[in-house]
A and B are shown apart, each in its own frame.
Chain A
Amino acid sequence: MLTKRIIPCLDIKDGRTVKGVNFINIRDAGDPVELGEAYARQGADELVFLDISATNENRKTFVKLVKEIASHVNIPFTVGGGISSVEDVAPLLEAGADKVSINSAAVKNPDLIDQLSKAFGSQFVVLAIDARKIDNQWIVHTHGGSKPTDKKLFSWAKEGQERGAGELLFTSMDHDGTKQGFAIDPLAKLNELLNIPVIASGGAGTQKDFLEAFVLGKADAALAATLFHFGELTIKELKDYLLQSGVPIRNVNA
């Protein structure tokens, strides 16, 4: 049976993880490669690495890092942050990334989705959408959720799928950082609307939040960052809980 995926997300700046990570058995909490390996050992199903540095010089550091991750980590991983062209993506895939996520650049230039899926295949292209509810409408935001656009979540998600995105990563800016649970209603609606996998993001605070994202939100995967980084919830605890709750989950007996 196809299982629901649990995905830790790591923010990277200048080749290092940004937020401190509170892990036992880690020599260097800032080293993304070591962290990625640790998460893979704990049973993470996939990883996401977001490059939040802005300069071209830092991009080169990031490509080098992607190669290091690919050589050490034996589960699939997505890289994103600052990707705006086919030329940006080629070195990342060459370095061993399994997927790339695009966000603001796709809103600005939707044709980028077509170009990337045509050049590398749909399965490489994750469309990330940050949205916030304004006047009862889910409005797409860019630049880390700070800039509202004229796009609506559901029509943009559908357009993204039609243009060739292979997966959708939906972050509710209203829920992100609150630890009050994922945005269940829009998740369920996205799942109904799309036939590509949907990753839930933003709001994870407890095990039950994941259960609701999967059962009520019908999400195919759920992503979280700080919750895992600070050891508030381990991947193993979460997976044990979800299994006991009847969710199809890849069990890792490590």
Chain B
Amino acid sequence: MKVAIIKYNAGNIRSVAFAMERLKVDYSITDHEEEIRKADKIIFPGVGEASTTMQYLKYKKLDQVIINLKQPVLGICLGMQLMCAFSEENNTPCLGIFKESVKFFIPKNKEKIPHMGWNSLAQTKGWLPAELTHQFVYFVHSYYVPVNAHTTAITEYVQPFSAAMKQKNFYAVQFHPEKSALAGEIILSSFLNIPS
């Protein structure tokens, strides 16, 4: 099996690559359309700002490549947010794989923004093993995707939001599985074990 990690101006590509090495998975970091299309699994990482990142993806024509992929694709953090239709972060139109809009956390009870640290998963379903309910994963984000029909795990901060989603061959997590200790490795493994 070959995993392609989409190369663009994101902050955590190296960390995702190291996680693949720990799982002993063959991977490449690439922005070549052919190499991405031929891979068995695709990871779309992301740490950064929505509008400049979308600009970069469009400039590299990676936006069209991503939305037309047929094999399992995993969006991480900003990657998940960019898979949505729109982000409030600098009012950015995104890839539109999920029809939701990404919203800014507005504190209700002096909660700190960003939501940073380990928080638990609830109501995990579908591609996420049931054993992950109540497990902790690592988050760093100021924007969130509301709970919707495609949500496959919920986390609470200010209000319940989508910790994970799935639609067709597109999988997404708001947290950083590559930094989430054993729970993160289980999640990455279950994505990698999805039949292509």
A interface residues, Cβ below 8 angstroms from B: 1-5, 40, 45, 70-72, 74-76, 93-96, 98, 120-124, 166-167, 194-197, 220-221, 250-252, 254
A-B contact list, 13 entries, CB within 8 Å: A2-B117, A2-B119, A3-B117, A3-B120, A5-B118, A72-B22, A76-B179, A93-B11, A94-B14, A96-B18, A98-B15, A166-B116, A196-B112
B79 within 8 A of A: no
Q: From known contacts A1-B156, A70-B15, A252-B181, infer whether A195 and B48 are also in contact, taking CB-CB under 8 Å.
A: no
Q: How many A-B residue pairs have CB under 8 A?
A: 83
Q: Restricting to B64-112, which residues have a CB under 8 Å from any CB of A?
A: 107, 110, 112
Determine whether the beta carbon of A123 is less than 8 Å from that of B136: no
Q: From known contacts A96-B18, A195-B113, A196-B112, infer whether A3 and B119 are also in contact, taking CB-CB under 8 Å.
A: yes
Determine whether the beta carbon of B14 is less than 8 Å from that of A74: no
Chain A nearest CB from B133 CB (Å) reads 14
| Extra 17 A-B pairs, beta carbons < 8 Å, given A71-B21, A74-B22, A251-B136 | A2-B117, A2-B119, A3-B118, A3-B119, A40-B181, A74-B179, A74-B182, A74-B185, A76-B138, A94-B14, A96-B14, A96-B18, A121-B48, A124-B11, A167-B116, A195-B107, A195-B110
B interface residues, Cβ below 8 angstroms from A: 11-12, 14-15, 18-19, 21-22, 47-49, 107, 110, 112-120, 136, 138, 140, 156-157, 176, 178-182, 184-185
In the complex, what distance in Å separates the CA atom of A122 from the CA atom of B114?
Answer: 9
Determine whether the beta carbon of A70 is less than 8 Å from that of B181: no
Determine whether the beta carbon of A1 is less than 8 Å from that of B120: yes
Determine whether the beta carbon of B118 is less than 8 Å from that of A45: yes
Main SS class of interface, A: loop
A221 contacts across to B, CB distance below 8 A: 117
A71 contacts across to B, CB distance below 8 A: 18, 21-22
B15 contacts across to A, CB distance below 8 A: 70, 96, 98
A121 contacts across to B, CB distance below 8 A: 11, 47-49
Most chain B CB atoms below 10 A, which of A5, A74, A98 = A74
A252 contacts across to B, CB distance below 8 A: 181
B181 contacts across to A, CB distance below 8 A: 40, 74-75, 252
Determine whether the beta carbon of B180 is less than 8 Å from that of A5: no
In the complex, what distance in Å separates the CA atom of A86 from the CA atom of B156?
Answer: 35
